[in-house]
Amino acid sequence: MRTLTGLQPSGTLHVGNYFGAMRPAVQLQEQGEAYYFIADYHAMTTTHDPAELRENVQGVAVDFLACGLDPAKSVFWKQSEVPEVNELAWILSTVCPMGLLERCVSYKDKIAKGISASHALFAYPVLMAADILLYDSNRVPVGEDQKQHLEVTRDLVTKINEQFGEETLVLPEAIIPDAVAKVPGLDGQKMSKSYNNTLPIFGDEKPLRKTVMRIVTDSTAVEDPKPTEGSIILELYKLFASESDYEVMMKDHKAGGIGYGDFKKRLWEAYWAFFALMRERRAELLADPGYVEQVLAAGAAQAREEADRVLRRVRRAVGLR
Ligand code: ADP
Ligand code: TRP
């Protein structure tokens, strides 16, 4: 059983990314083979600044390793280190109907947000399919927004296998976490870079503390009981605190007599403690960039071996060999 997923290097990672993508990926390392890569080719559909791209790739690599990605258990590499993925993308393109891509919501959303409509942006799902299929992946954990791209991938497998033989490509399955696993942002909407409402995983203590203390609350008086339904403080606290601390927090909300300032302080402390070990690990990694480079190089070598094996099979099937 092989699990594969790609991470877009697009800026500071936040608590939503941690619980929605990184932690599940770290947990899946314990079950079968884990293949994780940094999607730098994909990032180029939205970033044309070389320095920014380099910095973001390095940042995601360090943060993911700090959050528990274990190179002894996972293959971890940078997408562009295995450029063969572009050849598979081309082969898939030859059977990919235009209509399949025209229906993709994420493309339309990006255009609506003002991202320029390049060929790469349009063909994004084909490259994503190639990422998955080049490694004979079985399971692909992704957020809800990527579900349609997994459907495109499965459609392409069917087309290739009908045309060139049933054994050509392996049919992957999406693993989508529950809708309830959505982490709320500081304003109550889904936490997302695009909404500017994120709590980063890493950063300097003072500004982060301010960010937590600025969470918007209602005007319930200190002495009155506080609502527990739809409380951002409680929802976030639940992610970081022990079960017993969470129960105390609930009880104190219902009892009244404690103000939101105190609750935010508790949230801050739980959040800061939750990431303490990862923060330490991150500092070590930042002090040793050679190590990160070496992990990515070893991962790329291993990924390339697998990619060669699959691509040889596909080339033979389609008649390139
Ligand atoms: P953003 O919305 O900030 O742009 P991305 O779309 O880059 O985040 O998300 C990367 C990964 O993190 C995806 O797998 C996504 O499902 C997960 N993720 C992002 N925000 C949240 C959230 N608020 N709750 C749960 N998972 C999230
Ligand atoms: N498109 C994914 C995202 O924005 C990132 C990605 C690229 C990916 N290639 C992939 C995810 C292959 C899973 C499998 O989150």
Using a pLDDT cut of 70, give the percent of the chain over it.
99
Q: Is the CB of 16 under 6 A from ligand 1?
A: yes
* pLDDT per residue as tens digits for the range 237-283: 999 999 999 999 999 999 999 999 999 999 999 999 999 999 999 99
Helix residue spans in the chain (DSSP H): 15-17, 23-28, 40-43, 50-66, 84-93, 98-102, 105-112, 119-133, 147-164, 205-213, 232-240, 243-255, 260-274, 276-286, 289-318
Read off the pLDDT of residues 78-129 as tens digits, 9 standing for 90 and up: 999 999 999 999 999 999 999 999 999 999 999 998 999 999 999 999 999 9
Instruction: Report whether residue 129 contacts ligand 2, using a CB cutoff of 6 Å.
Output: no
For residue 107, report the distance from its CA to the centre of ligand 1, in Å.
17
Mutation choice for ligand 2 from 36, 41, 42, 173, CB with most ligand atoms inside 8 A: 42
Mean pLDDT of all residues in 211-235: 94
pLDDT one-digit tens code per residue, 145-167: 899 999 999 999 999 999 999 99
Residue type, 282: R
Is position 190 annotated as part of the catalytic site? yes
Length of the chain: 321
pLDDT (tens digit, 9 = 90+) per residue, 42-67? 999 999 999 999 999 999 999 999 99
CA distances from 22 to 54, 118, 215, 279 (A): 20, 29, 24, 15
- Give the ligand whose atoms come closest to the C-alpha of residue 106: 2
The predicted pLDDT at position 180 comes to 56
Options 110, 182, 226, 264, the catalytic residue: 110
- Strand partners of residue 200: 14
Q: How confident is the model at residue 311 (pLDDT cuts 50, 70, 90)?
A: very high
Task: Set out the domains of the chain in order of their start, with CATH numbers.
Answer: 2-182+289-318 (3.40.50.620), 203-274 (1.10.240.10)
CA 74 to centroid of ligand 2, rounded, Å: 17
pLDDT of residue 179: 61
Does 193 participate in catalysis according to the annotation?
Answer: yes
